[in-house]
Structure 1
Amino acid sequence: MSTIVVGGGLAGLSAAHTLLERGANVLLLDKQGFMGGNSTKATSGINGAGTQTQQELNIPDNAKIFFEDTKKSARELARDDLIRVLTGRSGDAVNWLQDKFGLDLSKVARLGGHTHPRTHRGGAQFPGMVITYAQMERLEDLAVSQPERVKIIKKARVTKLIKDENAQVIGVEYTFNGKTETAYGPVILATGGYAADFTSDSLLKKHRPEYYNLPTTNGDHCTGDGHKMAMTAGAKGIDMEKVQVHPTGLVDPNDPEAKVKFLAAEALRGVGGLLLDNTGARFVDELQHRDYVTGKMWENGKFPIRLVLNGPASKDIEWHCKHYVGRGLMKRFDSGDALAKEFGISPSTLKKTFEDYNQVVRSKKDPFGKKFFSGEWTYDDTFHVSMMTPVLHYTMGGLEIDDASRVIDTNGKPIPGLFACGEVAGGVHGANRLGGSSLLGCVVFGRVAGDSAAAYTLQATSAAIAKAGGRLGAIAGQVSGAPSASSSSSSAPAPEAKGEQSSAGGKVYTMDEVAKHKDKKDVWVVVNGEVLDVTEFLPDHPGGEKAIMLYAGRDATEEFNMLHDPKVIPRYAANAVIGKIKQ
């Protein structure tokens, strides 16, 4: 019997690896053509209390302190049972990622709402991408080496949960290549949230209509599919009105009204960045909870509001700054005078802002309540600056679960055979999620769901299998006629195009030829000397099509190498390579 994992983001991947560790088999169904989900875009890191890294850095943190910080953030909706799991297993989750997947999580920062530094990241690349890719690649390798245990089907949209006469979930229906398929087994939902649900039956519009027109950081796959499907099958939704608006979405000066925006990592404020309004003044404790900072931005109302990093802060988070500058979302200024000119204010006004802040740093008495500081500021310094806007980011509401990740029905009872983890699971973060706890929730509850589903499978009796009409027993080798994992995500063959024939047999193009292909219906990019036709891949890119279109018709090598491992192209986009660039 295989357990069906619906969703290929970090929560689903963590569940799948845990199932395999417990001896279970896995069928992973993901509606995207490229797994990863929003997890790949997480930029600040993953929380953990009492980790190996914290011990090495002499950070006196523990699960009890983390519990209290999380409970305070969750406020009136705090679920002690779920918070205890999240925080109590946080150190083990980070250690598991380091030990099992060999990840570098050696840097630790303090984000808003945390009393100690506990948000882990590595020295390069976005931590969400690094963590998710490591799990994704390992699982895909297992799908090749152990196909009897691991099957992955991409572009498979699950549409229905199948229940038997005893109200047990025994499988799913999904569409693939225009056909409806059926798979049987216990189900783990890891389908993400609904912060991009602009569909006709939008959960966002139903529960928070005032947020419906805000921009979002979410990929267009975050439409609440798992919520809707499970609630149709009798699951209880909780806290659905609790939608987190993140204060720092990056405003693209060339496309300020874009519906989907990149997120400015909370780590930028964690290393000392200041939020200044259009008069050059501070108006909030930059390290307060996200909903508080967002509220103060709206209350202040003096837009554009800018996030400003001085030289030391920029150096501390240099990779992020380079990334944002490369995307045209951040500017570098080499003096205070240049920065004052950008704001449209006098140098004396900006100097006073810095002087007032330095007095706060020295006295530790901030009128806005800030308690943690990263040193004084000087006017003659370098600065990195971006315009900010609040953006839809995370949905705390979701399917009610217990501390074993079992989905609860409207009568308060667990639905047999149904589990949930990641953003689709409600109640974990209460009224407000702390920065760094999204990746943590995915890993911790992904592992909990994997453990629970494996135990459920082992406890299944022959009588239950017989009552299901033999359907469950029929999946020992998985679904008959199901598409193979290896063929589920291939791209369309590259179209014929002009270009010289190289001595190696591939075609050679000039940059002038590449530059002609910059429309959404015809997109080429250059990466490490190779020319890629990424037209078919555009809707599947986990960072959204805009991430590719920024480099349409151009050489994207530097940006690509900042974010990706070199194995990504041969592994996930081999068919997109149509030739090489002429040297």
Structure 2
Amino acid sequence: MKAKHSFAHIFRAFAAISALTLLISCGGKAAPTGQTYAPGTYTASAKGYHGDVTVAVKVTKNKIASVRVLKHGETPGISDLAISGIPKAIVDSQSLAVDSVSGASFSSKAVIEATTAALKEAGADIEKLMVPGAAAEKEADVELSADVVVIGAGGAGMAAGVSAHQNGATVVILEKMAKVGGNTISAGGAMNAVDEGSETAIKNKDSVALHFKQTYEGGDKKGDEVLVKTLVENAWASVEWLQSMGMKFLPEPFTVTGGLWPRAHKPVDPVGTGFFKTYNAYIEANKGIEVRLNTKAEKLIVENGKVVGVIATGKTGNKITVKANKGVVIASGGFGQNVAMRQEFNKQWPTLDETIKSTNHPGATGDGIMMGREVNAAIVQMENIQLLPLGDPETGSLSGNIETDVEKRIYVNIEGNRFVDEGARRDTMTLALFNQPQKKLWIVVDAHSYPEGTVKNNFNETIDGLVADGRAFKGETVEELAEKIGVPPANLAATVAEFNKHVASKTPDAFGRTLYSVPLDKGPYYAGARVPTVHHTMGGIKIDAETHVIDVNGNVIPGLYAAGEVTGGIHGSNRLGGNALTDITVFGRIAGANAAQGK
């Protein structure tokens, strides 16, 4: 099978970005009627998500010849398609009226604005260039077949696809978005796993049994015990599986927000890009996996009670039918961006309407759950929707979060007062935040977290860059920091002093906090604003430990498997921080292997 949109194509940009230069040049269509330029190459910049994006635009008398991105600071793996695709779209259409890349809107906007400025300098009639180019012609309908069909090219889907192939299957992976990655590619990267018996686990007094206890009890004992056991007992083997394919992790585990224990393993590569570089390397080295982007799965094909394929729609509206010889895996993610579904099932939060943003990528709209319902799959625990107190006030994303680990930071409200145990469960912290003025907190850290301005947070952003962009604030003293963020200096100083007393004594404070390491006593000090944001939907399709989809009568649906956030019943009412990447890898591997073997 030959992929129309290969997964490798997406990451060619990743390598090019390291050189900070990417060239997209092609013939292009003729310029709009009457459009002329002063021939030459023009350079301009526009503000992206992480600073300026600079482009060079070459024009002839009547054509945009090329658009080059010379320099940018956008996040690799997330912005790649905008950095590569937007310039190509402008050249191909000879128009500035091109679509932004979902999930990379800031980067897309920056490339378009910088190109616009360059073309204006070249004497272009910008108004004419804002007319869309010709629409793409509808492509022919397509019929394909493979042993295993996977719906979704996020972390769970890619794990399932690679695992299925390792178990002898040919694979087609369908992804409705223009890029792979789902929520995983922009995740913080923390993956919980216990290497039981290792020096690290012994030092941290950690065990698989403790991981089970904290996961199960952290979800108020509402998770399926068998699924929780499967998760924790296969966690370290999944880390080793990734390592066997070349993925690298930092040597020491840490405590991620809401993780409750230092067992999160952080990839060397930024955010979630390491997972996809790993899967990409496997796919490039092996034949038999096709990844089709811009392909939206619409319906499961059922014959004689067995799921045997998927009907999908291509980018131009054409029908794509993929028959599965052995099995179909639904790995399409949750519904964090579907406001109607959030509101329909919400029982816990004051509101989950459009005023509450989400960390999720735009494609997290619950499609797989709805497809499962159409074939009588049981849907469980949809009311279990996790929020974080760590959303960017403008976008809801986790980027810009200045905390590096739980032990070294505090949360204060706009009055400069702490209001919660910062080492508590995620739901506990977020509910407390809903009760604060403006539903807003400030994370406060010091030079223990950022000894140099070039030190990066968990999202590959330097603290100097965040301060320069106005997304974080810096003060040489606690009082100076308080002035910059608009909280009473005396309150913040007293708050920090009281916190430091408990760091010294290692005793629980008024909020019950027990996780400490160093005091906040070393300038400069930093603060970043955060708000509640929808992070993870823990309800979905019911599965068993072998990832078979279970119907409303408690029976296995033949030929159908599911993994990742599209499933429900693993995490209960609250997911521990760091368990999501474990979930998608553990159950993605199981789903792929079982689908390949028809088990």
- TM-score of the superposed pair, with normalisation by structure 1: 0.71
Give the deviation of 1:114 after TM superposition. 4.3
Contact 1:111 1:119 in 2 (8 A): yes
Matched, 1:332 2:469: no
- What does residue range 18-417 of structure 1 map to in structure 2 within 5 Å? 18-50=163-195, 55=200, 58-123=203-268, 125-126=270-271, 128-139=272-283, 141-142=284-285, 146=287, 149-165=288-304, 167-176=305-314, 177-185=316-324, 186-198=327-339, 202-208=340-346, 210-213=351-354, 214-251=356-393, 256=394, 258=395, 260-263=396-399, 268-301=404-437, 303-315=439-451, 318-320=455-457, 322=462, 324-325=466-467, 328-363=470-505, 364-378=507-521, 381-417=523-559
Equivalent position SS for 2:236: helix
Contact 2:254 2:405 in 1 (8 A): no
Take 2:538 and 2:402, find their aligned partners in 1: how far apart are those partners?
Answer: 18
Take 2:559 and 2:468, find their aligned partners in 1: how far apart are those partners?
Answer: 47
Note closer, same or farther for the CA distance 1:107–1:332 as it changes in structure 2 (3 Å cut). Answer: farther
Give the deviation of 1:212 after TM superposition. 2.2
Take 2:256 and 2:551, find their aligned partners in 1: how far apart are those partners?
Answer: 35
Give the deviation of 1:355 after TM superposition. 1.4
User: What is the aligned-residue identity percentage?
Assistant: 28
State the AA in 2 paired with 1:178.
G
Contact 1:196 1:220 in 2 (8 A): yes
Q: What CA deviation, in whole Å up to 9, does each residue of 1:5-38 have, x standing for no partner?
A: 1110111111111111111111111111110111
Give the deviation of 1:302 after TM superposition. 5.8
Task: Tell me the equivalent position of 2:72.
Answer: none
Note closer, same or farther for the CA distance 1:229–1:123 as it changes in structure 2 (3 Å cut). Answer: closer
Match of 1:14 among 120, 141, 159: 159
Choose 418-427 or 351-360, whichever is displaced more: 351-360
- What does residue range 410-425 of structure 1 map to in structure 2 within 5 Å? 410-425=552-567
Give the deviation of 1:340 after TM superposition. 1.8
- TM-score of the superposed pair, with normalisation by structure 2: 0.69
Contact 1:306 1:386 in 2 (8 A): yes
Q: How many residues align?
A: 440
Give the deviation of 1:151 after TM superposition. 1.5
- What does residue range 474-485 of structure 1 map to in structure 2 within 5 Å? none
Q: What CA deviation, in whole Å up to 9, does each residue of 1:411-432 have, x standing for no partner?
A: 1111000000010011111111
Note closer, same or farther for the CA distance 1:55–1:350 as it changes in structure 2 (3 Å cut). Answer: closer
Note closer, same or farther for the CA distance 1:115–1:154 as it changes in structure 2 (3 Å cut). Answer: closer
Give the deviation of 1:344 after TM superposition. 3.1
Take 1:59 and 1:369, find their aligned partners in 2: how far apart are those partners?
Answer: 20
Give the deviation of 1:130 after TM superposition. 1.8
Note closer, same or farther for the CA distance 1:63–1:315 as it changes in structure 2 (3 Å cut). Answer: farther
Note closer, same or farther for the CA distance 1:328–1:21 as it changes in structure 2 (3 Å cut). Answer: farther
Give the deviation of 1:333 after TM superposition. 2.6
Task: Tell me the equivalent position of 1:519.
Answer: none
Matched, 1:432 2:574: yes
* Larger helix share, 1 or 2: 1
Give the deviation of 1:116 after TM superposition. 3.1
Q: What's the RMSD between the two structures over aligned residues?
A: 2.3
Which has the higher relative contact order, 1 or 2, with Cα contacts under 8 A spaced 6 or more apart? 1
Take 2:164 and 2:391, find their aligned partners in 1: how far apart are those partners?
Answer: 36
Give the deviation of 1:446 after TM superposition. 0.2
Give the deviation of 1:150 after TM superposition. 1.6
Note closer, same or farther for the CA distance 1:454–1:315 as it changes in structure 2 (3 Å cut). Answer: farther
Q: What CA deviation, in whole Å up to 9, does each residue of 1:291-326 have, x standing for no partner?
A: 000011112336542011111023499311516446
Note closer, same or farther for the CA distance 1:6–1:239 as it changes in structure 2 (3 Å cut). Answer: same
Choose 332-341 or 442-451, whichever is displaced more: 332-341
Note closer, same or farther for the CA distance 1:100–1:14 as it changes in structure 2 (3 Å cut). Answer: same
Q: What CA deviation, in whole Å up to 9, does each residue of 1:402-445 have, x standing for no partner?
A: 01111110111110000000100111111111111111111000
Equivalent position SS for 1:422: coil
Take 2:571 and 2:548, find their aligned partners in 1: how far apart are those partners?
Answer: 17
Give the deviation of 1:327 after TM superposition. 5.4
Equivalent position SS for 2:183: helix
Take 1:105 and 1:299, find their aligned partners in 2: how far apart are those partners?
Answer: 37
Give the deviation of 1:369 after TM superposition. 0.5
Equivalent position SS for 1:314: coil
Note closer, same or farther for the CA distance 1:334–1:137 as it changes in structure 2 (3 Å cut). Answer: farther
Note closer, same or farther for the CA distance 1:234–1:324 as it changes in structure 2 (3 Å cut). Answer: farther
State the AA in 1 paired with 2:424.
Q
Note closer, same or farther for the CA distance 1:44–1:266 as it changes in structure 2 (3 Å cut). Answer: farther
Note closer, same or farther for the CA distance 1:262–1:372 as it changes in structure 2 (3 Å cut). Answer: closer
Give the deviation of 1:261 after TM superposition. 3.2
Unaligned 5+ segments in structure 1 are 460-583
- What does residue range 431-470 of structure 1 map to in structure 2 within 5 Å? 431-456=573-598
Unaligned 5+ segments in structure 2 are 1-145
Take 2:185 and 2:198, find their aligned partners in 1: how far apart are those partners?
Answer: 22
Note closer, same or farther for the CA distance 1:345–1:23 as it changes in structure 2 (3 Å cut). Answer: closer
Task: Tell me the equivalent position of 1:576.
Answer: none
State the AA in 1 paired with 2:232.
T
Contact 1:266 1:435 in 2 (8 A): no
